[in-house]
Amino acid sequence: MPMHPKAKQLWHPALAIAICLATPLLSYAIDPKFELDPGALSGKSAQSPAPTKQPSGDQAAQQTRGTANGQTRGAAKKEARGEAARSKSYHAGRGERKRSTQAARARKSASPAPEVPAANYQITLTKFAPVAQAEAVESARQVWTRLVPPAAGRSNDHFDYHSNAFSLSLDPERYPTLTAQDGGTILVDGGGTLPALVRSLIQEKNPRVRIVSENAANRRSFYRSLLTAAQFYSFEEDFSVDFGTDPKITVRADFKIEKNPDSLLKQDVTLLNVAENRRATPDGLVRLLAGNGFRLVEAGSPPYQVPRGAGDLLYQVSEKEPRKILDSLLDALSVPFETGKEIDLYARDNIGVRLDVPVDRYFEDNGQRYVVALFNGDPVTYTLVRLLETKGYRVIMLKAGDDFHSVADQLLSGLHIQGRYGDYDLWSAHNVGYGVRMSGAMIRDNRNGDRNLFVTDRNLDPLVKELADLNGYHLLGGR
């Protein structure tokens, strides 16, 4: 078909180039599994923006055809608008292309295309971890030898791997390896800085290597990840065990570890403490645990320091007779008393009559007068003692069968002292890791300074006395 004369005038080399570009191009894409993510080499692939995806041959052809069609439609509209509009559009388009070219050059100079490494490359990581993380990782490495001894003939210090494709070495101070319970290897990445590419290479070459990337500064979570990777038979968090009933000693541990299914039967259970601010467990308590099949391992516990200036008192009452029990309680409260006193019932009435009433104990406290009598079944004696209440005396009547519990409640109630008999924790075991709980009277004593006074009739073995002393109690009584 012959070409129209006006069409010949429109023929231009630029149009020929556009038509050529519209022809589909052959492209050969690299298999994605062989592509190397440049961001992975720096460990920032998750944070780096995704690279711009280049269109394939078909996509490029479609974009080119769309551009050519747009230019054709634009040319028709320009023809309708006139020469002025075409000139304005042309200059605007040229300015837009110029700005796009300058922006592309700026991006190219700011972010040069990364070079793909050769097939045989070497990766060496020797950066220094933050101090807190490095100390926590070093502490874990020392503790771990007590949990899982290194296998004979195996290196437990560093990780190296060599092959025809690459050579990989890791800084042993930054990335130590630990032996797992099942014979595998734990690679510790306490700072979470191991690049994704390196992780993939390691796990692909050796699936028995387990990488722990928990933040080492969070000690509880860090050790939880290590214990999970170690493949122990079981481990339990926030474990506690009790010894005795009254007094009862409770020991708390961050983790309880059973290495094998028969660990309980063999009394081979490990308790692990990892809290950084936790004081070291006293030797007497460690021996108690060992005697009951618990081996204690502690990480980073500071040396034990005896509390100073606590001033709390632990008073042991060994007496069993009611009046003697009361004497011990008054002694614990630093209240002086008289025994075998006789009180004139009408001394202040001035009526010329004297009637003496014998009482077992007499004392004064906070401006009040107190009498204590043991009821022996005689109604006359009981009536006379009660008549003393009409004369302003406060009467505490004891019975022959009263025990420590009953005497303590009557005395404290009569003295209006804050404190009652019950089961009490002598101190909080939250930060200490162990505690002692027993029955007795816990008194907030404001008479002799602001302190706790705990009075009990329980037998105190040497370990309980030692633990109470270590936690600021002064032991009194016991006679």
Same domain assignment for residues 125 and 75: no
Angle at 89 between CA 85 and CA 92, to 5 degrees: 140
What is the CB neighbour count within 10 angstroms for residue 115? 7
Give the model's pLDDT for residue 271.
Answer: 95
- Three-state secondary structure of the chain: CCCCHHHHHHCCHHHHHHHHHHCCCCCCCCCHHHCCCHHHHCCCCCCCCCCCCCCCHHHHHHHHHHHHHHHHHHHHHHHHHCHHHHHHHHHHHHHHHHHHHHHHHHHHHHCCCCCCCCCCEEEEECCCCCHHHHHHHHHHHHHHHHHCCCCCCCCCCCCEEECCCEEEEECCCCCCEEECCCCCEEEECCCCCCCHHHHHHHHHHCCCEEEECCCCCCHHHHHHHHHHHHCCCEEEEEEEEEECCCCEEEEEEEEEEECCCCCCCCCCEEEEECCCCCCCCCHHHHHHHHHCCEEEEECCCCCCCCCCCCCEEEEECCCCCHHHHHHHHHHHCCCCCEEEEEEECCCCCCCCCCCEEEEEEEEEECCEEEEEEECCCCHHHHHHHHHHHHHCEEEEEECCCCCHHHHHHHHHHHHCCCEEEEEEECCCHHHHCEEEEEEEEEEEECECECEEEEEECCCCCHHHHHHHHHCCEEEEECC
* Amino acid symbol at 456: T
Nearest to 372 by CA among 355, 400, 394: 394
Same domain assignment for residues 418 and 433: yes
Out of 202, 230, 258, pick the residue that ends a domain. Answer: 230
Confirm whether 98 is domain-assigned: no
Confirm whether 89 is domain-assigned: no
Same domain assignment for residues 321 and 443: yes
Give the model's pLDDT for residue 418.
Answer: 80
pLDDT, one tens digit per residue, over 92-114 is 444 444 444 454 454 444 444 44
Give the model's pLDDT for residue 18.
Answer: 42
pLDDT, one tens digit per residue, over 423-432 is 999 998 887 8
Confirm whether 183 is domain-assigned: yes
The pLDDT of residue 91 is above 60: no
pTM for this prediction = 0.66
pLDDT grade for 305, boundaries at 50, 70 and 90:
low
Confirm whether 267 is domain-assigned: yes
pLDDT, one tens digit per residue, over 389-445 is 888 899 999 998 899 999 999 999 988 888 889 999 999 888 789 999 999 999 887
* Amino acid symbol at 117: P
Same domain assignment for residues 129 and 192: yes
Distance, in Å, from the CA atom of 145 to the CA atom of 44, rounded to the nearest integer, reads: 34
Nearest to 249 by CA among 295, 286, 221, 296: 286
Same domain assignment for residues 318 and 464: yes
Nearest to 438 by CA among 452, 453, 430, 426: 426
Give the model's pLDDT for residue 156.
Answer: 53
Average pLDDT for the chain: 75
Q: How many structural domains is the chain composed of?
A: 4
**Residue range of the domain that includes 451:** 312-477
Same domain assignment for residues 336 and 471: yes
Give the model's pLDDT for residue 270.
Answer: 94
Give the model's pLDDT for residue 17.
Answer: 42
Give the model's pLDDT for residue 378.
Answer: 85
Distance, in Å, from the CA atom of 13 to the CA atom of 314, rounded to the nearest integer, reads: 106
Which residues have C-beta within 8 Å of that of residue 43, sequence separation ≥ 6? Answer: 193, 194, 195, 196
pLDDT grade for 10, boundaries at 50, 70 and 90:
very low
The pLDDT of residue 371 is above 70: yes
pLDDT, one tens digit per residue, over 221-264 is 999 999 999 999 999 999 999 999 999 999 999 999 999 898 88
Confirm whether 151 is domain-assigned: yes
pLDDT, one tens digit per residue, over 56-80 is 444 444 444 444 344 444 444 444 4
Same domain assignment for residues 328 and 436: yes
The pLDDT of residue 212 is above 50: yes
Residue 214's alpha-carbon distances to 94, 217, 317, 372, in angstroms, are 55, 9, 53, 67
Same domain assignment for residues 161 and 71: no
Residue in the block written with tokens 């990766």: 123
Same domain assignment for residues 366 and 427: yes
pLDDT, one tens digit per residue, over 131-185 is 567 777 888 888 898 998 876 445 455 677 777 888 888 888 888 888 899 888 8
Give the model's pLDDT for residue 20.
Answer: 42
Out of 215, 230, 245, pick the residue that ends a domain. Answer: 230
Out of 298, 323, 348, pick the residue that ends a domain. Answer: 298
Same domain assignment for residues 439 and 356: yes
Task: Name the packing angle between helices 57-81 and 83-110 (round to 10°).
Answer: 150
Give the model's pLDDT for residue 37.
Answer: 52
Same domain assignment for residues 323 and 455: yes
pLDDT, one tens digit per residue, over 341-361 is 998 888 887 787 888 888 999
Distance, in Å, from the CA atom of 144 to the CA atom of 428, rounded to the nearest integer, reads: 29
Which residues have C-beta within 8 Å of that of residue 21, sequence separation ≥ 6? Answer: 64, 68
Same domain assignment for residues 338 and 440: yes
Confirm whether 395 is domain-assigned: yes
Give the model's pLDDT for residue 24.
Answer: 45
Confirm whether 435 is domain-assigned: yes
Of the spans 79-83, 95-99, 296-300, which averages the highest pLDDT? 296-300
Of 368 and 20, the structure prediction assigns the larger pLDDT to: 368
Confirm whether 304 is domain-assigned: no
